[in-house]
Amino acid sequence: MSRIDDLIRERCPDGVPFRPLGEVLRIKNGKDHKPLGDGEVPVYGSGGIIRHVDTAAAEGPSVLIPRKGSLANLFYVEGPFWVVDTIFRTEIDTSLVAPKFLFHQLQTMGLGEMNQAGGVPSQTQGVLNRLRIPVPPLEVQQEIVRVLDTFTELEAELEAELEARRVQYAHYR
C-alpha cells in the first residue's frame, strides 16, 4: 500500500467526501488590461500570459480556469496576477482544500470537454460551481500534491534529457 492509501484509510474511514466546487472556492471574472501600464505582473488569458502590467487584480495562490477558447488550459499561480475576461480566477478556501491539490484535481476532470456553447468553446460559472470534487483531509491533499509534483519534476528532467540526446544525435549524424 502507498502512503496515500494509508492516509485515506486512516483519515477517511467512511470514504473521501465530495463537495461542489462552489463550496470550496469563489469564481471571479477577469477584466480589461489595456488601460494598465507595463510592469512585472503577468496578465493571463485562456492561452497563457499575454503581457505584464503594473497592477495586480489578485494575489495567488489561485487556479485560473479558462472561460472562452482553450478550456483545458488551466494555470496555477502563486504571486500577483491579472486575468482578462477569457479566464476565471479563483479565491480558494484553504481551510478546506490545498490550492495545488485543486489544480491537479481539475486537470483530471476533462474541463476541455465541458463546452457550454456552439462556436467558440465556453464555460460558465454555474456549471463550474456545481462540479463535485473529492475533498480529503488537508494532510492527504498535501501528500497527493507532493507525489504529483515529484512526477512533474521528473517528467521535466526526462524531457530535458531527451532533448539533449536529440541534439547530440543530430550533431553526430
Q: Determine the pLDDT at residue 10.
A: 86
Q: What angle do CA 117, 18, 69 make, to 5 degrees?
A: 20
- Angstrom distance (rounded) from CA 69 to CA 61: 23
**CA-based torsion, 28, 31, 36, 41: positive or negative:** positive
- Angstrom distance (rounded) from CA 146 to CA 98: 12
- Exposure of 15 by Cβ count < 10 A (0-12 exposed, 13-18 middle, 19+ buried)? exposed
136 contacts 16 by C-beta, under 8 angstroms: yes
Q: Determine the pLDDT at residue 122.
A: 72
**Kind and range of the H or E element at 141?**
helix 138-172
What is the per-residue pLDDT across 56-102, written as a single tens digit (0 to 9) for each?
999 989 999 998 877 778 999 999 999 999 899 999 999 999 999 99
Nearest Cα neighbor of 62 from 23, 100, 114, 34 is 100
Single-letter amino acid code for the residue at 40: E
Among 38-42, 91-95, 130-134, the minimum mean pLDDT is found in 130-134
The pLDDT of 38-66, averaged and rounded, is 95
pTM score: 0.81
pLDDT band at 2 (very low <50, low <70, confident <90, very high): confident
Q: Determine the pLDDT at residue 156.
A: 83
